[in-house]
Amino acid sequence: MSQPQSRLAGKVALVTGGSRGIGAAIVERLATEGAAVAFTYAASPDRANALAAKLTADGRRVLALQADSGDPQAILAVVARAQGELGGLDILVNSAGITLHTPIAEVSVAEYDRLMAVNVRAVFLAAQAASKVMPDGGRIISIGSNLADRIPFPGLTLYTASKTALIGLTRGLARDLGSRGITVNLVQPGSTDTDMNPADGPMAPPQLATMAIPRFATPAEIAGGVAYLASPEARGITGTALTIDGGFNI
Ligand code: NDP
CA atoms of 246 and 250, how far apart (whole Å): 9
Percent of the chain's residues with pLDDT above 90? 98
The per-residue pLDDT for range 214-229, each reduced to its tens digit, is 999 999 999 999 999 9
The residues annotated as belonging to the active site are: 159
Q: Ligand 1 mean position to 22 CA, how many Å?
A: 7
Q: How much distance in Å is there from the Cα of 179 to the middle of ligand 1?
A: 31
Instruction: Please give the number of the atom of ligand 1 that sits closest to the Cα of 42.
Output: 47
DSSP secondary structure letters along 168-207: HHHHHHHHHHGGGT-EEEEEEE-SB-SSSS-TTSTTHHHH
Which ligand 1 atom sits nearest the alpha carbon of residue 190? 42
Cα→Cα distances 66→49, 86, 102, Å: 10, 16, 28
Residue 94 CB less than 6 A away from ligand 1: no
Cβ of residue 21 lying under 6 Å from some atom of ligand 1: yes
pLDDT of residue 1: 44
Of the residues 141, 194, 210, which should be mutated to test ligand 1's pocket, given the most ligand atoms within 8 Å of the CB?
194
Quote the ligand 1 centre to 23 CA distance (angstroms).
Answer: 7
Please give the pLDDT value at position 130. Answer: 98
For ligand 1, whether the C-beta of 42 sits within 6 Å is yes
Task: Give burial (CB, 10 Å; 0-12/13-18/19+) of 127.
Answer: buried
Residue 64: closest CA among 54, 52, 50: 52
Rounded distance between C-alpha atoms, residue 38 and residue 57, angstroms = 15
Mutate to test the pocket of ligand 1, among 49, 195, 196, 243 (most ligand atoms within 8 A of CB): 196
243 lines ligand 1 (CB under 6 A): no
Q: What is the pLDDT of residue 188?
A: 98
Q: Are 241 and 185 in contact (CB under 8 A)?
A: yes
pLDDT of residue 189: 98
Atom of ligand 1 nearest to the CA of 163: 34
Q: Which pLDDT score is estimated for 4? A: 55
| 124, 161, 165 from 222: Cα distances, Å | 21, 21, 20
Nearest CA to ligand 1 atom 41: 192
pLDDT tens for the chain, 250 residues long, are 444 569 999 999 999 999 999 999 999 999 999 999 999 999 999 999 999 999 999 999 999 999 999 999 999 999 999 999 999 999 999 999 999 999 999 999 999 999 999 999 999 999 999 999 999 999 999 999 999 999 999 999 999 999 999 999 999 999 999 999 999 999 999 999 999 999 999 999 999 999 999 999 999 999 999 999 999 999 999 999 999 999 999 9
pLDDT, the chain, mean: 97
Q: What is the per-residue pLDDT across 21-31, written as a single tens digit (0 to 9) for each?
A: 999 999 999 99
Nearest CA to ligand 1 atom 10: 17
